[in-house]
């Protein structure tokens, strides 16, 4: 019928999606674990149980914050960057290769800066390519970013397992980056490092730019209505390409920071799935930069909880994947059926 | 004997979410069978909502409806059709790729019994065409049953819509703003057909805001204001002036302000030479070989029916279409108009002010707030070294809302505003910055009510008195006649008339040019 569905206010919709995801997680645990209550504890409380678990949980949320911001910037200009997987990989490989070839005497701060820049440039160029293709020839950025990403992933695999393969390792990985060049750890013994501050700072800076500066305003106008933006004399093609480039750069940065932090090397396929999780973060954030922080924490929490159950209660990883997919499904649903209002 | 009441609506209330606006507030309506009943009111008075409820497109929050004396709960458009109610919308709904006949009898096509077992039946084209001819002749319509609907003129499309309702034996016809797209001649022809349909016993409800048409065609009229029914009157017992007062809710009701005396014309501000632009749609002519000039303190009105180049002219002058040929002379400097980037600079700098005809897409981003839309065009003023001055923007938006009498808040989402208020916001934005040397105003008052139209006309005349050159592109002949010092009419992309608006030009005369029946 005509009015049986009504769009809920954004806040209620998000709260409902989060609640449903959590309820579903509990239901999955009840179904697939022999012992329900310890599994429940592992899922919901173990991520906070000690410094090690908590630090790892937060460390996993950092790339989601940065990559989530990347997706969000693209959203702002009405572009869908589906090339995150490849852009993260490219950023990671660029950062890794640079860090491995840096001279011995370089200071750690310089190494971090160069590696981060290398990651951003690599990801940014790939993102910009999709933006330019769209501006020039109306190539759908969704399709081009996805396909370019598929190429980049394969080229990346070749580089890691070919010319850059660590001959001393049995794994498909590059050599290890010298440990004094890595980002300093905080909250040891967990893998959390200072990149969390970079993530928080980026969220703050972009949130302020979006609300209080002219480029932020113009980007928003471009995203809401291209024709109107043109009417206002805003260079739409420039903003769209720039947004895709920044989006790619943030993805690349996320990859670079993983390599310069917890990974200390570039392993084949290490970032698999991160690009997609970043999309859920951005969707959950409801096009608000500040919203990226709780969203990234929530998505990382689902993952941390699932990992603990997987190890602690032996739930197969496929079940966990289903749970994460279902959570994504709830988040992307714009309409929830609402009881039809009774006619007088 | 009392005349039979075809439609009786009582205490109809309807509130829209999430804005909470009451579109209808205990509205009432009684329509006698076999009459032409007009519903008049300003923008947002609730006319269209009331009719959508009657046609089953909206469900009321409260109220009762009786059709031919029987209480009903109209659940859907299909249900309304079962009750004999049909609505012809302002924007026609039809299949452009089907023929006239197929559009009229869509869903009711005559079928031949198929000889192949298991196959239900095949379309009987012959009888489809005959039926179309018959129904058109019954009501005095002239239509080619085999013509493709997409090729029909606006008025022919409207006739197809009306016949589609009649073919379904719908005896209560609702027409939403039926004349807004018609010329004078077409309007007269439509009214003759409506009178014929009434004579055959059907009931017709017309939603409009044109009082003169109500006086010409309707038997009775219901006035609505702010969602409420003010009253229902016999046309014979009321006057146009009385109706205008009732609609506006004031005691003093002026007629639309007459044109000011042609101001002392200044120098040429804007001149177009040999403009040629391709049509938007395949097979359309666009504009060809246009020449015109606008002086300071002069209003040039350009008029055309849809599909005759007005849209292309707007896009070319608004910087949205790269013309294939032509020069523009602005303020003494000559510019090849194909160099669109240079031309756009004039718009961007504010030397040319442009009001688009398409409010929903081009002149507003509906998902942004009123303030964001207001400040977007002249946004540089609201950023100090790139930093947003939000108090200034909010204050100036508030001032503009106030001075243009727009009931909205700066922080409100623009999509919640009525169409009339959105247009007023666009006009407020144009007039709240320094007056441009040239104003290009496209359909400036389309869909605005009397009071707002008058307000806009006054602003235009003020701008003219202040020395702006003004170009009005409009399909509303009355508006052009009321405001313009010179009139240009386009037919198939060419100027068939370019003359000063002296007493010799009137609606009928311009109508002939619009239809291509006359040319200079």
Q: Is B349 left (phi over 0), alpha (psi -120 to 50) or beta?
A: alpha
Q: What is the pLDDT of residue A329?
A: 80
At residue A10 the predicted structure's pLDDT band, cuts being 50, 70 and 90, is low
B366–A225 C-beta distance less than 8 A: yes
Q: For all residues of chain A together, what is the average pLDDT?
A: 85
Tell me how far apart the alpha carbons of residues A23 and A10 are, in angstroms, rounded to a whole number. 20
- Measured on CA atoms in the order B364, B366, B371, B372, is the torsion positive or negative? negative
Tell me how far apart the alpha carbons of residues B240 and A315 are, in angstroms, rounded to a whole number. 80
Q: Where are the alpha helices (DSSP H) in B293-411?
A: 310-317, 340-349, 370-376, 390-403
Domain boundaries, chain A: 8-335
Tell me how far apart the alpha carbons of residues A300 and B181 are, in angstroms, rounded to a whole number. 57
Q: What is the pLDDT of residues A72-113, one digit of tens each?
A: 999 888 888 999 999 999 999 999 999 888 887 888 888 889
| Segment B89-116 mean pLDDT | 82
Q: What is the pLDDT of residue B451?
A: 78
One DSSP character per residue, A84-104 reads HHHHHHHHHHHHHHHHHHS-T
Tell me how far apart the alpha carbons of residues B467 and B266 are, in angstroms, rounded to a whole number. 8
Q: What is the pLDDT of residue A147?
A: 95
Evaluate whether B93 touches B55 at the Cβ level (below 8 Å): no
Q: Which residues of A touch B344 (CB under 8 A)?
A: 233
Query: Which residue in this structure is represented by tokens 């017309």?
Result: B206
pLDDT of residue A344 exceeding 50:
no
| Segment B138-151 mean pLDDT | 83
Evaluate whether B270 touches B438 at the Cβ level (below 8 Å): yes
Q: What is the pLDDT of residue B67?
A: 92
Q: What is the pLDDT of residue B219?
A: 94
Helix (H, G, I), strand (E, B) or coil at B489: strand
- Looking at CATH, the fold of the domain delimited by B1-56+76-84+173-190+210-252 is given as Rossmann fold (3.40.50)
pLDDT of residue B355 exceeding 80:
yes
Q: Which residues of A touch B380 (CB under 8 A)?
A: 214
A221–B320 C-beta distance less than 8 A: no
Interface check B263 vs A, CB under 8 A: no
Identify which of A3, A214, A228 has the shortest CB distance to residue B364: A228
CATH topology match: B1-56+76-84+173-190+210-252 vs B268-351+436-514: yes
Helix (H, G, I), strand (E, B) or coil at B266: coil
Q: In angstroms, what CA-CA distances link B519 with B272, B313, B389?
A: 21, 19, 54
Interface check A104 vs B, CB under 8 A: no
pLDDT of residue A341 exceeding 50:
no
- A/B interface, count of CB pairs below 8 Å: 72
Backbone phi and psi for residue A186, each to the nearest 5 degrees, phi listed first:
-125, 160
Q: What is the pLDDT of residue B373?
A: 94
Q: For all residues of chain B together, what is the average pLDDT?
A: 86
Q: What is the pLDDT of residues A208-259, one digit of tens each?
A: 999 999 999 999 999 999 999 999 999 999 999 999 999 999 999 999 999 9
Q: What is the pLDDT of residues B33-51, one digit of tens each?
A: 999 999 998 777 888 889 9
CA B324 to chain CA centroid, nearest Å: 30
At residue B502 the predicted structure's pLDDT band, cuts being 50, 70 and 90, is confident
pLDDT of residue A318 exceeding 90:
no
The tokens for A256 are 């670079």
Query: Which residue in this structure is represented by tokens 């001032």?
Result: B399
Tell me how far apart the alpha carbons of residues A229 and A219 are, in angstroms, rounded to a whole number. 9
Q: Which residues of B touch A220 (CB under 8 A)?
A: 368, 372
pLDDT of residue A20 exceeding 50:
yes
| Segment A156-180 mean pLDDT | 85
Identify which of B18, B356, B379 has the shortest CB distance to residue A231: B356
Q: What is the pLDDT of residues A265-316, one digit of tens each?
A: 888 888 878 888 898 889 888 888 998 999 899 888 888 888 888 887 777 7
- Looking at CATH, the fold of the domain delimited by A8-335 is given as ABC transporter involved in vitamin B12 uptake, BtuC (1.10.3470)
Tell which A residues from 172 to 211 touch B, by Cβ distance under 8 Å.
Answer: 211
Interface check A232 vs B, CB under 8 A: yes
At residue B19 the predicted structure's pLDDT band, cuts being 50, 70 and 90, is low
Interface check B387 vs A, CB under 8 A: yes
Evaluate whether B140 touches B197 at the Cβ level (below 8 Å): no
Helix (H, G, I), strand (E, B) or coil at A335: strand
Domain boundaries, chain B: 1-56+76-84+173-190+210-252, 86-170, 268-351+436-514, 364-428
Q: What is the pLDDT of residue B4?
A: 85
Q: Which residues of A touch B322 (CB under 8 A)?
A: none
Q: What is the pLDDT of residues B56-75, one digit of tens each?
A: 998 999 999 999 989 999 99
Interface check B505 vs A, CB under 8 A: no
pLDDT of residue B26 exceeding 50:
yes
The model carries a pTM of: 0.75
Instruction: State how far residue B496 is from chain A, nearest Cα, in angstroms.
Output: 30
Q: Which residues of B touch A224 (CB under 8 A)?
A: 365, 367-368
Residue of B457 and A7 predicted with greater confidence: B457
Tell me how far apart the alpha carbons of residues A95 and A82 are, in angstroms, rounded to a whole number. 21
Q: What is the pLDDT of residue B252?
A: 55
Interface check A225 vs B, CB under 8 A: yes
At residue A176 the predicted structure's pLDDT band, cuts being 50, 70 and 90, is confident
Q: In angstroms, what CA-CA distances link A254 with A70, A85, A296, A300, B301?
A: 9, 11, 13, 14, 58
Q: What is the pLDDT of residue A2?
A: 37
Number of other CB atoms surrounding residue B339 within 10 Å: 12
Lowest mean pLDDT, pick from B245-249, B355-359, B428-432 = B245-249
Distant-in-sequence, close-in-space partners of A301: CB < 8 Å, separation ≥ 6: A47, A57, A61
Q: What is the pLDDT of residue B1?
A: 45
pLDDT of residue A335 exceeding 60:
no
Distant-in-sequence, close-in-space partners of B495: CB < 8 Å, separation ≥ 6: B290, B291, B292, B488, B489
| Segment A15-34 mean pLDDT | 81
- Measured on CA atoms in the order B367, B370, B373, B376, is the torsion positive or negative? negative
A344–B63 C-beta distance less than 8 A: yes
Evaluate whether A126 touches A136 at the Cβ level (below 8 Å): no
A343–B59 C-beta distance less than 8 A: yes
pLDDT of residue A340 exceeding 60:
no
Interface check A334 vs B, CB under 8 A: no
Interface check B384 vs A, CB under 8 A: no
Q: Of B463, B6, B43, B38, which Cα lies nearest the Cα of B260?
A: B463
Evaluate whether B365 touches B425 at the Cβ level (below 8 Å): no
CATH of span B268-351+436-514: 3.40.50.300
Interface check A315 vs B, CB under 8 A: no
Instruction: State how far residue B425 is from chain A, nearest Cα, in angstroms.
Output: 14
At residue B501 the predicted structure's pLDDT band, cuts being 50, 70 and 90, is confident
């Amino acid at each position: 019928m005509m009015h049986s569905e009504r769009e809920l206010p954004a806040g209620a919709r998000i709260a409902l999606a989060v609640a449903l995801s959590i309820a579903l997680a509990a239901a999955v645990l009840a179904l697939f674990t022999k012992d329900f209550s310890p599994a429940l504890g592992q899922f919901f409380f173990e991520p906070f149980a000690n410094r090690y678990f908590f630090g790892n949980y937060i460390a996993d949320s950092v790339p989601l914050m940065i990559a989530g911001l990347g997706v969000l910037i693209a959203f702002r200009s009405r572009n869908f960057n589906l090339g995150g997987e490849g852009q993260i990989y490219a950023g990671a490989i660029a950062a890794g290769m640079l860090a491995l070839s840096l001279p011995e005497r370089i200071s750690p701060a310089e190494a971090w800066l160069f590696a981060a820049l290398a990651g951003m440039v690599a990801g940014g160029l790939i993102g910009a390519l999709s933006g330019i293709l769209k501006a020039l020839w109306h190539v759908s950025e969704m399709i081009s970013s996805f396909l370019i990403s598929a190429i980049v992933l394969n080229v990346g695999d070749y580089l890691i397992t070919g010319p850059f393969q660590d001959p001393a390792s049995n794994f498909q990985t590059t050599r290890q980056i010298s440990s004094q060049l890595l980002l300093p750890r905080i909250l040891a013994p967990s893998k959390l490092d200072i990149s969390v501050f970079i993530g928080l700072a980026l969220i703050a800076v972009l949130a302020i730019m979006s609300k209080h500066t002219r480029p932020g305003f113009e980007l928003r106008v471009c995203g809401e209505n291209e024709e109107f933006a043109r009417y206002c004399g805003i260079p739409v093609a420039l903003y769209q390409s720039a947004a895709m480039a920044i989006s790619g750069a943030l993805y690349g940065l996320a990859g670079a920071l993983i390599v310069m932090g917890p990974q200390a090397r570039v392993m084949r396929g290490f970032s698999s799935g991160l690009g997609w999780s970043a999309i859920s973060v951005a969707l959950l954030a409801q096009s608000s930069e500040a919203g990226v922080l709780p969203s990234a924490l929530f998505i990382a929490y689902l993952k941390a909880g699932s990992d603990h159950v997987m190890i602690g209660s032996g739930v197969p990883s496929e079940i966990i994947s289903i749970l994460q997919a279902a959570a994504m499904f709830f988040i992307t649903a714009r309409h929830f059926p609402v009881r039809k209002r009774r006619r007088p | 004997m009392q005349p039979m009441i075809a439609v009786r609506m009582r205490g109809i209330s309807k509130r829209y979410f999430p804005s909470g606006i009451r579109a209808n507030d205990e509205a009432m309506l009684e329509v006698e069978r076999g009459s032409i009943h007009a519903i008049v009111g300003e923008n947002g008075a609730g006319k269209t909502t009331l009719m959508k409820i009657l046609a089953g497109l909206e469900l009321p929050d409260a109220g009762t409806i009786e059709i031919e004396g029987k209480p009903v709960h109209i659940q859907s458009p299909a249900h309304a059709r079962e009750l004999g109610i049909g609505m012809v919308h302002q924007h026609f709904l039809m299949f452009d790729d089907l023929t006239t006949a197929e559009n009229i009898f869509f869903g009711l096509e005559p079928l031949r019994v198929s000889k192949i077992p298991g196959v239900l039946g095949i379309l009987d084209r012959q009888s489809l065409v005959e039926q179309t001819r018959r129904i058109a002749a019954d009501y005095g319509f002239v239509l080619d049953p085999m013509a493709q609907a997409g090729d029909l003129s606006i008025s022919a499309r409207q006739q197809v819509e009306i016949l589609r309702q009649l073919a379904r034996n719908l005896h209560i016809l609702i027409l939403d703003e039926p004349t807004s797209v018609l010329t004078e001649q077409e309007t007269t022809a439509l009214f003759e057909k409506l009178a014929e349909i009434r004579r055959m016993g059907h009931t017709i409800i017309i939603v409009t805001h044109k009082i003169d048409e109500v006086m010409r065609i309707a038997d009775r009229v219901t006035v609505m204001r702010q969602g409420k029914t003010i009253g229902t009157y016999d046309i014979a017992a009321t006057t146009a002036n009385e109706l205008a007062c009732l609609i506006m809710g004031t005691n003093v009701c002026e007629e639309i302000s007459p044109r000011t005396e042609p101001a002392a014309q200044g120098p040429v501000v804007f001149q177009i030479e040999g403009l040629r632009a391709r049509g938007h749609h395949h097979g359309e002519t666009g504009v060809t070989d246009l020449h015109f000039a606008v002086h300071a303190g002069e209003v040039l009105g350009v008029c055309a029916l849809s599909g005759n180049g007005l849209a292309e002219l707007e896009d070319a002058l608004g910087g949205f279409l790269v013309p294939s040929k032509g020069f523009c002379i602005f303020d003494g400097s000559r510019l090849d108009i194909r160099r669109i980037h240079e031309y756009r600079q004039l718009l961007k700098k504010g030397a040319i002010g442009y009001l688009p005809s398409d409010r929903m897409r081009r002149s507003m981003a509906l998902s942004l707030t009123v303030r964001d839309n207001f400040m977007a065009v002249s946004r540089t003023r609201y950023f100090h070294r790139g930093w947003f001055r939000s108090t200034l923007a909010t204050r100036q938006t508030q001032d503009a809302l106030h001075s243009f009498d727009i009931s909205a808040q700066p922080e409100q989402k623009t999509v919640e505003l009525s169409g009339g208020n959105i247009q007023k916001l666009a006009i407020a934005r144009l007039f709240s910055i320094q007056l441009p040397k040239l104003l290009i105003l496209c359909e400036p008052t389309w869909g605005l009510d009397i009071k707002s139209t008058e307000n806009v006309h006054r602003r235009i005349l003020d701008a003219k008195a202040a020395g702006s050159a003004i170009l009005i592109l409009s399909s509303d002949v009355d508006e052009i006649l009321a405001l313009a010092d010179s009139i240009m009419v386009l037919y198939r992309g060419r100027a068939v008339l370019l003359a000063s608006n002296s007493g010799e030009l009137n609606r009928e005369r311009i109508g002939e040019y619009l239809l291509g029946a006359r040319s200079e």
